[in-house]
């Protein structure tokens, strides 16, 4: 399975390289040079980029598989379904862990007070749990319907999820004086162990189901 992980790692490495090599320094330039302190609300927003980083990698990799008929090629090799699916899930988990690890180091260096460091870590764990669950949902869709069919469902749904929160944010701000950062900071009060206790079984459960879908090669492109 390690060879499959290396084969599929290019897209994940590209996204990680773009984020940590370009995007992360740009959005943190005033903090990297000490001009502004690291604000907790900014940290919570920063953690949310993990979702786009990991899911974008998953989507890009499956798009590449579809264009190159990668699954058709793998079906000619003595590779079992659990190895193919397991490699995909392992990459999503590794991408999530790398994001968490690097940001934990960044927060440990940037925050002098434990009162700020603890919520930053909690927020990171919450987002990581959500990221794992969404990755599992993505792979379930890809292995059940194939890339082309699933993209017709997933893209409109994601556009809806992006558009709907905008008027909701305006409503909360104007009528109740509640900002998005306030909501996200409130989430840091939730025990991260609850998030892990929910997200990890869902992630592993979706892995087992995805393996069953993978065995039916007719749904793949």
pLDDT at 198: 95
Q: How confident is the model at residue 157 (pLDDT cuts 50, 70, 90)?
A: confident
Q: How confident is the model at residue 221 (pLDDT cuts 50, 70, 90)?
A: very low
Q: Residue 144, exposed/middle/buried by CB under 10 A (0-12, 13-18, 19+)?
A: middle
Stretch 119-146: mean pLDDT: 89
| Structure confidence at residue 208 as a pLDDT band (50, 70, 90) | very high
DSSP summary character for residue 197: H
**Chain segment 174-207, per-residue pLDDT in tens:** 555 555 556 666 777 788 899 999 999 999 999 9
CA 30 distance to own-chain centroid:
26
pLDDT given for residue 218 in this prediction: 44
Average pLDDT over residues 30-57: 71
How many CA atoms does the CB half-sphere of 30 hold within 13 Å?
A: 7
Read off the pLDDT of each residue in 45-73 and give the average, rounded to a whole number. 82
- pLDDT computed for residue 15 by the predictor: 80
CA 56-17-79 angle, 5° bins: 60
Q: What share of the chain is helix, strand, coil (3-state, %, to 5)?
A: 85, 0, 15
pLDDT value, residue 129: 93
Question: Mean of the pLDDT values across residues 3-23?
Answer: 79
């Amino acid at each position: 399975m390690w060879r499959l992980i290396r084969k599929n790692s290019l897209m994940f490495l590209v996204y990680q390289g773009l984020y940590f090599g370009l995007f992360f320094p740009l959005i943190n330039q005033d903090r990297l040079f000490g001009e502004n302190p690291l604000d907790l609300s900014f940290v919570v927003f920063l953690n949310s980029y993990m979702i786009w980083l990991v899911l974008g990698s998953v989507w890009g990799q499956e798009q590449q598989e579809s264009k190159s008929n990668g699954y058709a090629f793998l079906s000619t090799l003595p590779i079992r379904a659990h190895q193919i699916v397991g490699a995909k899930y392992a990459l999503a988990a590794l991408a999530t862990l790398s994001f968490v690890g690097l940001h934990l180091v960044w927060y440990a260096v940037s925050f002098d007070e434990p009162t700020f460091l603890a919520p930053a870590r909690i927020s990171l764990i919450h987002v990581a749990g959500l990221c794992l669950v969404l990755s599992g949902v993505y792979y379930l869709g890809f292995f059940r319907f194939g890339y082309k069919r699933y993209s017709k469902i997933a893209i409109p749904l994601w556009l809806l999820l992006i558009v709907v929160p905008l008027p909701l944010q305006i409503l909360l701000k104007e009528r109740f004086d509640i900002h998005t950062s306030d909501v996200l900071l409130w989430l840091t009060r939730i025990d991260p162990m609850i998030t892990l206790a929910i997200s990890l079984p869902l992630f592993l459960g979706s892995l087992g189901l995805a393996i069953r879908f993978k065995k039916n090669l007719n749904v793949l492109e």
